[in-house]
A and B are shown apart, each in its own frame.
Chain A
Amino acid sequence: MPSHEPSVTPGGREVVVAMREVERHYVMGDSVVRALDGISFEIERGSYWAIMGPSGSGKSTLLNLLGCLDRPTKGAYVLGDEDVARLSDDQLSDVRSRKLGFVFQSFQLIQQLSILENVEVPLFYQGVAPAVSRERARQALARVGLGDRVSHRPNELSGGQQQRAAVARALVNQPIVLLADEPTGNLDSKTAREILDLFDELHQQGSTIILVTHDPGVASRAEWVLRVLDGKVDRVDRGGRARVETGATA
């Protein structure tokens, strides 16, 4: 497994996600679609990024690569201290269970399992002992404010609560990066705000967050906004109200 010294930015913070000249091609019949066509950026530990782009821009492909659900055709993807671009399927599974936390638009909780069991799933595949995993899952649920709902089934909870449970599941393995794909897409605006507040809170506690959205309001909560267009980084903006133009890491 290729190991890399963690890069350090001029600001002095450790880089936990680095994409270098990443390309992802799909073969559709006779033609080759370049979904990603040479993307490079770096994300520092503890930063909060939003990825935006119109449909077909390649942002879903980028998210799949970031989530180690897919492998780049070319280029390097350093997650933490290892290049994961060339790992085998089993190794990628391992990376997902140890280094990544996922929050999906449609929550993606397993309906047949209780909330607690859902949160335990990533630990199950890490081989964490049942007693330990149960305790950690309880703590994660308490952290998102669901400490009293552990034995409920997902469909017994509101959408906001389900998404909180999903956040707890994403946190339970103490990932390097929290990946969120339109986490507020299925929620009403009030609940959406609550979830985004939760993200802010996690960010303040030191989590690295990458959030994919098409909603500028959601993106504006992040520190940085990376815009993807035609498989390339269009530009990187400062998030929040500042919206300062930088070109720094692109």
Chain B
Amino acid sequence: MITAMWRTFHLGLRGVARHGLRSLLTSLGVLFGVASVIAMLAIGEGLSHDVQMRIQALGSNNILVRSLKPPESNSAGAERSRLSVYGLTYQDAERMKQTLPNAQIVVPVRAIYQDARYADRRADSRVVGTVPWFGETNDFKLESGRFVTEVDLQARTPVCVLGATVARELFPLDEPLGKLIKLGTQAFRVVGVMLPRTALTGDDQGTIEDLSRDVYAPLTTVRQYWGEIIVKVSSGSRDMEQVELHQLQVRVTDVKKVEATAAVLKEMLAASHKTKADYEVVVPLSLLRDAEETKKDFNRVLGAIAGISLLIGGIGITNVMLATVTERTREIGIRRALGAKRKHIVAQFLVETVVLAGGGGVLGMSLGWVICVLVPTINPKLHPMPTQESYVLSFVISVVVGIVFGLYPAWRAATMDPVEALRHE
């Protein structure tokens, strides 16, 4: 049985080897189909991996609440100067801390755009007023020095931690630690320097924000120096904004409770911010789910494209095999006359198509792998991650394509009348 199968396989293999170039051309359809499936799946996997890593960097245990400027109600030009009050409040923060079940840590953040100056150098920066436990909900590493401490918060110390870009621009040569810099008009002492830091903004596009221009200072100090009202002067008009907190970051103890907590949080905020839609809630975990959904959709589209290309590849194989069968009609007649059963003929031609398609599949897998290696050299943002499953799947599918698209030609060959076949010129 095994030897019979091996001999049939060998026979089919010889059929393929007989016309090397033709066999290669025939298997091209499957080859490119499989290669593109491998490459595209790998690129998709890489992209979704990147997105997931970034979302995870936001913290899957976290819920982010941000202040949003509500849409203007009255026409902009009417008043030369006005005060808009919106956003999250200290009261919101307190209420979250008190009432949210499972909310372990609430991190309030206040951000104010101020120039940073040292000697004659100047850097654009964003002063972020926060609390010592900022690190619980944010992923950052210090290059040197320390972060804001409890003592700083209590004593409203004028100290700051510089983002990497700000540090580089203000202190291209000097050691920043211990230096006194000016944020706007206020003097702060540098106590720490951060490594470069980015984060996902949490929008639908997966935009990345550079946080290396942030300067971190105790929330209490920031509140004392700049108050709640920010005045912007632009093209002759004065816009005044009163925003207590720009962000509240909530850390939930258990990942499973994140979405339930987010729901409670939303209700709570809806109750206290009845009049204005001046905040947004971002749940990284939900983003992660969305990203996974998107990936599934992507894979489905990919599957359809792959299916079409393999279908075309398969039709190509059928086409060539039909020609081969016609070309070898005499041989079929001879084999039948000498005792070959129909199943022998079917097996012989089926092995040929399976070898063609399977061989195309294996070549396609190699090509796909090469593409995965080459893609990052063309576009460094892409990191294809070929999965083992995609290789196994591609191979199985190409063999199935061989069987499915070989059946008809093989059946045609097997059902020929031996007498007619022998007479074929």
A108 on the B face (CB < 8 A): yes
Q: Indicate if the CB atoms of A122 and B338 lie closer than 8 Å.
A: yes
Contact of B339 among A70, A93, A112, A130 (CB under 8 A): A93
Residue in B closest to A91 when the chains form the complex, CB atoms: B341
Task: Mark out the residues of chain A between 112 and 136 whose CB falls within 8 Å of any chain B CB in the assembled complex.
Answer: 112, 121-122, 124-127, 129-130
B74 on the A face (CB < 8 A): no
A183 on the B face (CB < 8 A): no
- Once A69-B419, A129-B3 are accepted as A-B contacts, the answer to whether A110 and B341 lie under 8 Å apart by CB is no
Q: In whole angstroms, what is the CA distance A136 to B336 when docked?
A: 21
Q: Indicate if the CB atoms of A96 and B18 lie closer than 8 Å.
A: no
Residue in B closest to A108 when the chains form the complex, CB atoms: B334
Q: Indicate if the CB atoms of B334 and A69 lie closer than 8 Å.
A: no
Q: Indicate if the CB atoms of A110 and B7 lie closer than 8 Å.
A: no
B422 on the A face (CB < 8 A): yes
Q: Indicate if the CB atoms of A130 and B340 lie closer than 8 Å.
A: no
A21 on the B face (CB < 8 A): no
Contact of A169 among B336, B338, B343 (CB under 8 A): B338
Contact with A along B334-361 (1 / 0, CB 8 A): 1111111111100000000000000000
Q: In whole angstroms, what is the CA distance A89 to B364 when docked?
A: 40
Q: Indicate if the CB atoms of B339 and A98 lie closer than 8 Å.
A: yes
CB-CB under 8 A from B341, the residues of chain A are: 89-90, 93-94, 125
Q: In whole angstroms, what is the CA distance A122 to B3 when docked?
A: 16
B82 on the A face (CB < 8 A): no
CB-CB under 8 A from A109, the residues of chain B are: 334
Q: In whole angstroms, what is the CA distance A97 to B344 when docked?
A: 13
Q: In whole angstroms, what is the CA distance A110 to B331 when docked?
A: 6
Residue in A closest to B339 when the chains form the complex, CB atoms: A97
**B283 to nearest A CB, angstroms?**
67
CB-CB under 8 A from A67, the residues of chain B are: 337
Interface band, chain A: 20 to 34
A199 on the B face (CB < 8 A): no
- Once A69-B337, A69-B419, A108-B330 are accepted as A-B contacts, the answer to whether A89 and B342 lie under 8 Å apart by CB is yes
CB-CB under 8 A from A102, the residues of chain B are: 337-338
Q: In whole angstroms, what is the CA distance A125 to B339 when docked?
A: 6
Q: In whole angstroms, what is the CA distance A108 to B18 when docked?
A: 19
Task: Mark out the residues of chain A between 122 and 165 whose CB falls within 8 Å of any chain B CB in the assembled complex.
Answer: 122, 124-127, 129-130
Q: In whole angstroms, what is the CA distance A110 to B422 when docked?
A: 11
A64 on the B face (CB < 8 A): yes
Q: Indicate if the CB atoms of A121 and B336 lie closer than 8 Å.
A: no
Q: Indicate if the CB atoms of A93 and B336 lie closer than 8 Å.
A: yes
Q: Indicate if the CB atoms of A130 and B337 lie closer than 8 Å.
A: no
A104 on the B face (CB < 8 A): yes
CB-CB under 8 A from A64, the residues of chain B are: 419
CB-CB under 8 A from B173, the residues of chain A are: none
Q: Indicate if the CB atoms of A130 and B3 lie closer than 8 Å.
A: yes
Interface band, chain B: 20 to 34
Q: In whole angstroms, what is the CA distance A125 to B342 when docked?
A: 11
Residue in A closest to B18 when the chains form the complex, CB atoms: A112
Residue in B closest to A172 when the chains form the complex, CB atoms: B338
Q: In whole angstroms, what is the CA distance A129 to B4 when docked?
A: 9
Q: In whole angstroms, what is the CA distance A102 to B419 when docked?
A: 12
Residue in A closest to B344 when the chains form the complex, CB atoms: A125
Residue in A closest to B331 when the chains form the complex, CB atoms: A110
**B417 to nearest A CB, angstroms?**
8
Question: Which of A67, A96, A104 lies at the interface centre, i.e. has the most chain B CB atoms within 10 A of its CB?
Answer: A96
Q: In whole angstroms, what is the CA distance A125 to B334 when docked?
A: 12
Q: Indicate if the CB atoms of B334 and A110 lie closer than 8 Å.
A: yes
CB-CB under 8 A from A121, the residues of chain B are: 334-335, 338
B95 on the A face (CB < 8 A): no
Residue in A closest to B6 when the chains form the complex, CB atoms: A130
Q: In whole angstroms, what is the CA distance A93 to B334 when docked?
A: 12
Contact with B along A208-241 (1 / 0, CB 8 A): 0000000000000000000000000000000000
Contact of A127 among B4, B14, B18 (CB under 8 A): B4
**B256 to nearest A CB, angstroms?**
63
Q: Indicate if the CB atoms of B342 and A69 lie closer than 8 Å.
A: no
Task: Mark out the residues of chain B between 306 and 339 whose CB falls within 8 Å of any chain A CB in the assembled complex.
Answer: 330-331, 333-339
- Once A96-B337, A108-B330, A124-B7 are accepted as A-B contacts, the answer to whether A90 and B419 lie under 8 Å apart by CB is no
B418 on the A face (CB < 8 A): yes
CB-CB under 8 A from A112, the residues of chain B are: 14, 18, 331
CB-CB under 8 A from A127, the residues of chain B are: 4
CB-CB under 8 A from A104, the residues of chain B are: 422
Q: In whole angstroms, what is the CA distance A106 to B3 when docked?
A: 32
Residue in A closest to B1 when the chains form the complex, CB atoms: A127
Q: Indicate if the CB atoms of A93 and B3 lie closer than 8 Å.
A: no
CB-CB under 8 A from B344, the residues of chain A are: 125
**A149 to nearest B CB, angstroms?**
19
Q: In whole angstroms, what is the CA distance A129 to B1 when docked?
A: 11
Q: Indicate if the CB atoms of B342 and A97 lie closer than 8 Å.
A: no
Q: In whole angstroms, what is the CA distance A94 to B422 when docked?
A: 18
Contact of A90 among B4, B18, B337, B342 (CB under 8 A): B342
Q: In whole angstroms, what is the CA distance A169 to B340 when docked?
A: 14
Q: In whole angstroms, what is the CA distance A90 to B338 when docked?
A: 12
Q: In whole angstroms, what is the CA distance A108 to B14 when docked?
A: 19
Task: Mark out the residues of chain B between 368 and 425 whose CB falls within 8 Å of any chain A CB in the assembled complex.
Answer: 418-419, 422
**B351 to nearest A CB, angstroms?**
14
Task: Mark out the residues of chain B between 246 and 290 whose CB falls within 8 Å of any chain A CB in the assembled complex.
Answer: none
Q: In whole angstroms, what is the CA distance A205 to B336 when docked?
A: 28
CB-CB under 8 A from B330, the residues of chain A are: 108
Task: Mark out the residues of chain A between 38 and 54 whose CB falls within 8 Å of any chain B CB in the assembled complex.
Answer: none
Q: Indicate if the CB atoms of B419 and A93 lie closer than 8 Å.
A: no
Instruction: List 8 other contacts, CB 8 Å, given A69-B418, A104-B422.
Output: A69-B337, A94-B341, A96-B337, A102-B337, A108-B422, A112-B18, A125-B339, A169-B338
- Top 6 A-B pairs ranked by shortest CB distance? A97-B339, A125-B339, A93-B341, A122-B338, A96-B339, A108-B334
Which residues from chain B sit less than 8 Å from chain A, CB to CB? 3-4, 7, 14, 18, 330-331, 333-344, 418-419, 422
Interface pairs (5), CB distance under 8 Å = A89-B341, A93-B336, A93-B341, A112-B18, A112-B331
